[in-house]
Every structure is written in C-alpha cells, then in structure tokens.
Amino acid sequence: MKQNEFTFIDLFSGIGGFKMALSNNGGECINYSEINKDAISAYCENHNESIDNNLGDITKIKELATHDFLTAGVPCQSWSIAGKNLGFDDDRGQLWNDTIYLLKQSQPKAFIFENVKGLVDPRNKQAFSYILDRIKQAGYYAKHYIVNSYDYGVPQNRIRVYIVGFKEKKYLDSFKLPKPYENGIKLADILGLKLTETKEESIVQRDLFGNPVLPKQMSLSSKNGFNDYFLFNDLRNGHTTIHSWDIIETTEREKEICLLLLKNRRKSQFGKLDGNPLSLKHFQALNPAITKSELTKLVELDILKEEEYQFRINDFDESELTDNELELLTIQLGTNIIVDDLKAQRGLKIKKISIKDTIESLKEKHIIECTEIRYDFKNTKISSGLFGVNRVFLPTSDVFPTLVASDTNDYVSLTNLKKENHSDYKKEFLDKVYFSDNYRKITKEEACVIQGFPKDFKLPESRARWMKLIGNSVSVSVIDMLARTIIETGVFEIEKIKYETLTKLVGISSYIEDNKVQNF
C-alpha cells in the first residue's frame, strides 16, 4: 500500500456517491451495505463492484472487516423538517445506533456520516447530543459541519450535515474545510445553454444610493434585484410569485379578498399556527363589505376551501369509541375540539393517528358536530405549488433546488427573459413561459450532473425509480472535498520510519526470493 492509499467500507451506500469520491482519491472499497435492489444494481454496474461485497441489512451486520475509513449516509427521513420530524421515535432513527455500534466495533482511522440539516435543528438538540456522545464513547474525536453542495462544485442548493471524526485528536485539529469554490458550474451549463445576456447586463432598479433594490422574498439567487425563478404559491407574496388568481380568471374584487387572506392568515389573533384559516366573521372584521357568497364563489373557483375548524363534543359512551377516537378526545381539553390544536399534538404523530379520519368517524357517530367554518387557500402545501408547478427556474439562475427522492414540482425553462421592471417581468414570464408551456422537468442526465455524477451514469429508465436513487444520494463533489481534506491531515499516511523500514524489508524479501534457487 502506498502512503496515501486507504481502505473503506460504505454503509447505506445507495448508488455510490461516497464510493465514487473515495475511489477517485485513492480509496479501495472492501465492502458496502445496501438493501434497495435498484441502488445495488446501479452500484455494481457503474462502479464495477461485485454483489458479493454487499453486506446487506445493517441491522444484521455483527462486525466489519478491518478498514481505514468508514462512511455512512444514514437514512434521514426521521430528522427531516419536511417530514414528521420524529427522530428516534421512528425506526429509521434507530439506525444511528447500528451505525455507531459498527464504528465502535471496527475502529477505523476516520469516518464521515451524512444527514439532513434537520438533525441539528433545535427540536432535535437532545437526540443530536446523544449521537455525538455515542461517537465519543466509541473512541472518536468528531465535529459536525453544515455544508451546502452549491459551495463545492455543483449548482444545487443542498444543505446537509456531515459529521467528521478521527481516532486521534491531532487529525481533527488539523482538519479545516476549504473555502467555497469560486466560478462553479451554473444551471445554464447543465442545460447546455450559452446565455447572451448576463445578470449584470440586465436593467436593475436602484435606490437613491445606487444600490440594487432586492425583492423582499425567499430567493435562491438574486444578484441584480430580480429573482431567477418564479414561485407558484398562494401563501407567499413577492414580485416573482405566481398566485392561483394570476392563473384563474378572477375579478379585481376577488383578487383583493385573496390578498386580504394572504396578508392576515399568519397573524396570531387568528390562531396558534404559522398560517390560520379565517371565518366569515374574521373577514368582515377586516372588511365589513365581504359577503359569504363572495367567499363561496372563490371556493367554487378552487382558490379557497371551506374547513370545519371547531367542533362541540356531545355526551358519549367510551365503549362506543375506537382507541384512536378515545386518544383524540382525551388529548383535547374542554368541551370543544379545535383542529389546529390537534395538529400541534406530537403524540398523535407518533401513534400515526389521522386527525382527518378520526374526526370523520366521530362525526358519523354524532359524538361531535361542527360549530365553526373557516376559509383558507385550497393549496396550502408549499412544496406542491399550484396546479402541479412549484417553481420554474430560468437559465440565468446559479442554482437549482435540492433534489429529493420523491421528486418535486420544480421545473426549468430554456427561455431567457428581459428584466425591465418587476411588473413586466412577471407578465412576460406568464405569457412566454407558463401559458406557452415553455418549461419542463430536468432530465435524468441533468439530475446526475447536478449531484456530481457523470452524465452517462446508468440508472433505471423510470423517472420515479431514478429520482429516488439520485435524490437519496450524497453530492459527489462534496464528498470529494471532504475526502481530500481528510487525506491532507495525514491520517492515512504510514509513519515515515515505518514506511522506510517496510520498504527495506520488502526489498530484502524480494532479494532472498530471487536468489533462493542459486543459493540452494
């Protein structure tokens, strides 16, 4: 073995993001662990790896072979803010225990563990501290780093947590993340476009001091006062936000009512959640001229929806109730059920009790009856967007959003737009891109490059299958950066004196072997 070569084992290997990066940096894969059939097939085919080296289900692995470097992209759904955020209350969260058990058993020189940013969310503070303590008890010095893939070579806004650890503290002390890369590839490069107009050439609105006037909204890329994507959403507002009332034919009066709901639904006086439906009484307190028929018309247009918000609890016999019904009624205090209060109950999430289904069954038994109707936007799931579209990115964008296993409603357009002012910019987008159907989803080849894989990386033909694989993978460019930085600490180098001695011994052994017959 040369001085900087090392062996590694690849847990939760997926399609081989760790494998590709570590192999490119002198690593030799001894074993990998994966249970998904598509991932195993892609791993073996693309990396010329034997299926015999697959250790399979990590929960059934008792020990690992001797190796230098352990990697693991531990399943992240338990910690995802986009999910139910159940942590160790989810079986998938328990896989951290299996991972750290194998780390302690095998004692490699270094490791990298990857997970979603939600792992270090304040709500998971206790669980994350437990993970770090277990790593310390296993005999390792470790630190965690929050890294965006966009900063290290790919045009993807993918923020992940990487825990890097060493057996010896001196190597952790010398480990330092490099500065973000400059002049990385952009979305236009992925799409194979050469833009004739740069962002700096666009007309920019400026304030009295000459500074660009930036839109006050969520933005993945806005360097000149204009966003490079359009957001389809009824819960946010901004210069490049497309609402359902921009798409559906509505009157100015109907648009005003929608904007009134948008402006007020997040105020605490209307409920405890970040966004709350409003009753007719609430609407009329804001604008006395609003009528029930106007709200009903917006419901008929599929812009608003009616929600049964509050219920009165009637007398009941516990023997009539299912376990889920009894759980829901005992959680709710008082003589009324408020749906938003139930949504905040963690216990219902852990026990996987459907609030909607349980409410319906209680209504059928006449145990509860609705006492308050409220109105909210029909489309309230931000990631779903409107009518199958969440965001449309223009080729001038530096970055594309996070690729996820379930795919997204994010699209790209190959059409570049002028940016004279925000009003015309939005109108031009609707006319030339949205209503003209000049947008599409990214292709398999583009998704591979966005994750740092080669364009010709072999994956299943089915979009759902290849999206699941690529969305669950690590970004190869980030692992490449981490691997090189770990190697530069010298953790895998053989001590100079030992290396020189070994070289001499190998030379002597070869000499004896070559002269054995003559001496005999």
What amino acid positions are annotated as catalytic residues?
A: 76
223: left (phi over 0), alpha (psi -120 to 50) or beta: alpha
Beta strand 159-166 pairing with 141-148: antiparallel
Strand-by-strand arrangement of the 241-242 sheet: 241-242, 229-232, 391-393, 410-412
Q: Cβ contacts of residue 375 below 8 Å, gap of 6+?
A: 261, 277, 278, 279, 280, 283, 295, 298, 299, 304, 305, 306, 307
DSSP codes of every residue in 228-243: SEEEE-SS--STTEEP
CA distance 437 to 261: 30
Rounded to a whole number, what is the distance in angstroms from the first to the last CA of the chain? 32
Q: Is 337 helix (H, G, I), strand (E, B) or coil?
A: strand
- What string of H, E and C letters represents the secondary structure of 140-176? CEEEEEEEEHHHHCCCEECEEEEEEEECCHHHHHHCC
> Residue 271 region, left (φ>0) first, then alpha (ψ -120 to 50), else beta?
left
DSSP output for 469-516: HHHHSPPHHHHHHHHHHHHHTTTTPPPHHHHHHHHHHHHHHHHHHHHH
Q: Environment class of residue 163 by beta-carbon count within 10 Å: exposed (0-12), middle (13-18) or buried (19+)?
A: buried
Q: Is 317 left (phi over 0), alpha (psi -120 to 50) or beta?
A: beta
Structure tokens at 262: 């948008």
